[in-house]
Amino acid sequence: MRFRWGWLEPVMPVPYVPTLGPVRREDPIPDLFEAVVETAGTGRFLPYDKDRRWSDRKAERVLVEAVEHDQERTLVPTLDERGAGTVKVHAYGGGLAEAEVLARQLAEKHGAAKARVVSFLGPEGRAEGGTRVQLKTFADGPGAAPGVPVLDYKQLPEGAGFGAFAEAMAGDGFAFLYEQLRAGTVGPVLTVLHGGRVAGAIGPMETLSDAGGAVRLLPQYFGVLPQFRGFGYGRALWRAAMHWGHQHSADYQLLQTEVGGASDRLCASEGLACLGVVHQRAA
């Protein structure tokens, strides 16, 4: 299976590669599409795959035999074998009705419990729902300093209660992150305290070279306890994370934020560039 870039580029409003996620426009996107097809079904991670830090085997693969690719639109289905299984059909250039049918057929064929369609809206479009792809670059430095003290997890005083924070924020992934921290398998996590207890955190702080050799600051788990929102803790954590990235030679960071959510508004106010919006819906 080979993709024609002359067909794919005009119908790709957001630079997004199935199984890898968002990338930059200047990245070697045609090569990335070829790479995810070549490794499909092998269980191997590409060296620049951000998910390789969480597992020793790639759980999501392109269903190469079911790709539909022409001048009008491209449909790229993937199968994620985690849990009960999910089929996603990435629809570039329309064809959403066909994508829904294909997703349901492939979910039945592969015994996956969920069938979803992934579609895209360019940065100039008016988004309602979905996740916004945000780009932070470090060419002009890290940006403003945090407004409140930020501590590394390892610097926390006894009784700071990171475990209780992680349990309360389990829905945001912090229970999983806490397990990784205790196992010593991930990089630093930055925290803020309120009354001597952890009120918010961001991490792990890690970088990875991308396919073009640039250094990417990887996405983090990021959250503040509801009762402590409005104190500026989220912005302080964000700025501390950007300073960490700059100090560790990161060239950029790519994020996905829920449209209209607190992180989305924060990124907009901090001057990040919007690359477009990604929508997922059940087929």
Residues 196 and 98 grouped into a single domain: no
What's the residue count for the chain?
A: 283
pLDDT tens-place string over residues 50-98: 999 999 999 999 999 999 999 999 999 999 999 999 999 999 998 899 9
Query: From edge to edge, which strands make up the β-sheet containing 197-203?
Result: 151-152, 190-194, 197-203, 221-224
Name which residue leads in pLDDT, 128 or 81: 81
**Cα–Cα distance measured from residue 186 to residue 205, given in angstroms and rounded to the nearest whole number:** 8
Is the pLDDT at 24 greater than 80, yes or no? yes
What is the count of structural domains for the chain?
Answer: 2
Is residue 89 left, alpha or beta, with left meaning phi > 0 and alpha meaning psi from -120 to 50?
A: beta
pLDDT tens-place string over residues 227-282: 999 999 999 999 999 999 999 999 999 999 999 999 999 999 999 999 999 999 99
Can you give the residue range of the structural domain that contains 62? 5-132
> Are residues 99 and 93 in contact, defined by beta-carbon separation less than 8 angstroms?
no
Residues 151 and 201 grouped into a single domain: yes
Q: What is the pTM of this model?
A: 0.93
Residues 52 and 125 grouped into a single domain: yes
Residues 26 and 128 grouped into a single domain: yes
**Cα–Cα distance measured from residue 39 to residue 184, given in angstroms and rounded to the nearest whole number:** 29
Question: Longest C-alpha distance within the chain, in Å?
Answer: 61
Label residue 124 by pLDDT band (50, 70, 90).
confident
Q: Provide the pLDDT for residue 126.
A: 76
For residue 158, which phi and psi values (nearest 5 degrees)? -60, 135
Q: Provide the pLDDT for residue 127.
A: 74
Q: Provide the pLDDT for residue 2.
A: 87
pLDDT tens-place string over residues 1-13: 789 999 999 999 9
Q: Tell whether the torsion through CA atoms of 206, 35, 103 and 117 is positive or negative.
A: positive
Q: Looking at residue 161, which CATH number applies to its domain?
A: 3.40.630.30
Residues 105 and 149 grouped into a single domain: no
227: helix, strand or coil = helix
Residue whose token pair is 């790519």: 254
Q: Provide the pLDDT for residue 241.
A: 97
Residues 90 and 163 grouped into a single domain: no
Residues 110 and 163 grouped into a single domain: no
pLDDT tens-place string over residues 163-197: 999 999 999 999 999 999 999 989 899 999 999 99
Residues 57 and 162 grouped into a single domain: no
Residues 52 and 112 grouped into a single domain: yes
Is residue 207 left, alpha or beta, with left meaning phi > 0 and alpha meaning psi from -120 to 50?
A: beta
Label residue 217 by pLDDT band (50, 70, 90).
very high
> Are residues 196 and 160 in contact, defined by beta-carbon separation less than 8 angstroms?
yes
Residues 241 and 173 grouped into a single domain: yes
- pLDDT over 70 for what percent of the chain? 100
End residue of a domain, out of 107, 132, 157: 132
- Listing DSSP states for 120-157 in one string gives EE-TTS---SSEEEEEEE-TT-S-SPPSS--EEGGGPP
> Are residues 32 and 15 in contact, defined by beta-carbon separation less than 8 angstroms?
no
Residues 110 and 149 grouped into a single domain: no
In-domain check, residue 269: no
Residues 14 and 101 grouped into a single domain: yes
